[in-house]
Amino acid sequence: MHLRCVNCNRRYEIDEVVYSCNCGGLLEVVIDLDKVKNVFDGRDITLWKYRSFLPVDERVSLREGGTPIYKLSDGVYLKNEGANPTGSFKDRGMTVGVSKAVELGMRKVICASTGNTAASLAAYSAKAGMKCYVLVPSGKVAVGKLSQAIIHGANIVQIKGNFDDALNIVLKASREIGAYILNSVNPFRLEGQKTAAFEIYDQLRFVPDAVILPVGNGGNISAIWKGFKEMEEAGIINKLPKMVGIQAEGASPLVRMFKEGGDFRPFERPETVATAIRIGNPVNWTKAIKAVRESNGLLESVTDDEILEAQEELASVHGIFVEPASAASLAGFKKLRKAGAIRRDEKVVLVATGHGLKDPDAVLRRSRPIISVNADANELIKILEEQRKPEH
């Protein structure tokens, strides 16, 4: 087991504290796949079931993974990552990343975040007894996520700028502060996140034609792709899915690159109601583009209105409450299916990345006024009857 640069293949030792190659390339963990165990039996699913695929021992866990998969309609499934301990898929990454921090003897951890990474790191570092710093874009973090970071005791700093500014500061200041970075530039975090691929196969007992998920920094799409490729290399599956990434229109630099070609160019002023993916300069863009191209996949953007409509549909038709960024999966799927880019006979898994309670304001801001009556049964009946009358 070692670290490898995805650009130049340079090798680094597994216990080096290093986040990128000297050439500037991103790093990935290379697992000894001849030593992995085929534990895929559709039973007893938790993330640590797949420990032979993971580069650390289980040291800090809140029982992450094992999230439900729902059938929305024929051939359309939803993997609900909001069911993780802090309500997002980040917990898969943090259990592995913080376990690695313990192994390295780190006392402090740090991240920049649009909210979920902060909430997750705050919880796992609390359990590990580590000091935690989180940098968030001022005024742009959903209230549920912020309250999680506060109650778990993180040191929170609001940056007068966006997520990309906050991450830049983390990358520059972590060494001075003496803190281990747990953003998705950390390859160990992505190792945890790749287990979503293992679970999708374990639960469905087949490999879907496409996996569709929201893309911000591009870490998760590359992690899940790595998970599928490792299962294939280990001889457990013999087919790979297309990886389909969805960005919000106002923060869609990867979609632009994919559709228009040319060099990668960031969005200077990313904007979207889906604050989780309000990212203009995805740090993992090379890995994300590679996952999409290698898998013969797609990148597509959706509007804020399409996102909010999909969020409402998931909640009011299927009973599943997800945060806006997560609803981008369904919004993108509907758009691609309408355009014929995903066929009706293709089996797809939509990944819902975070729980709806993370961002209650996104619902309350657009809800109709709630009726209020005196504590009187007759008054209630009268008002409900009036509501039933056809409007003139």
Task: Report the interface residues with ligand F0G, using CB under 6 A.
Answer: 88, 90, 113-117, 184, 214-220, 276-277, 323, 325-326, 353-354
| Contact residues for 223 (Cβ-Cβ < 8 A; gap 6+) | 93, 184, 190, 191, 192, 193, 194, 196, 197
DSSP 356: G
Work out how close the CB of 350 gets to ligand F0G at its nearest, in angstroms, rounded to a whole number: 12
Residue 202 or 323: which CB sits closer to ligand F0G? 323
Residue 39 or 126: which CB sits closer to ligand F0G? 126
Q: Is 254 helix (H, G, I), strand (E, B) or coil?
A: helix
CA distance 105 to 17: 11
Phi, psi of 373 (to 5 degrees): -130, 165
Work out how close the CB of 383 gets to ligand F0G at its nearest, in angstroms, rounded to a whole number: 38
Work out how close the CB of 288 gets to ligand F0G at its nearest, in angstroms, rounded to a whole number: 7
Spell out the alpha helix ranges (H) of 178-303: 187-193, 195-204, 219-233, 253-260, 285-294
Residue 95 or 113: which CB sits closer to ligand F0G? 113
Residue 229 or 287: which CB sits closer to ligand F0G? 287
- Token pair of 322, please? 């997800």
Work out how close the CB of 114 gets to ligand F0G at its nearest, in angstroms, rounded to a whole number: 4
Amino acid at 46: T
The order of strands in the sheet holding 242-248 is: 69-73, 76-80, 348-352, 210-214, 242-248, 298-302
Work out how close the CB of 116 gets to ligand F0G at its nearest, in angstroms, rounded to a whole number: 3
Residue 97 or 219: which CB sits closer to ligand F0G? 219
Residue count of the chain: 392
Residue 216 or 280: which CB sits closer to ligand F0G? 216
**Quick check: 289 and 324 in contact, CB under 8 A?**
no
Work out how close the CB of 348 gets to ligand F0G at its nearest, in angstroms, rounded to a whole number: 17
| CA pseudo-torsion sign 200, 201, 204, 208 | positive
Work out how close the CB of 135 gets to ligand F0G at its nearest, in angstroms, rounded to a whole number: 10
Residue 116 or 174: which CB sits closer to ligand F0G? 116
**Quick check: 196 and 89 in contact, CB under 8 A?**
yes
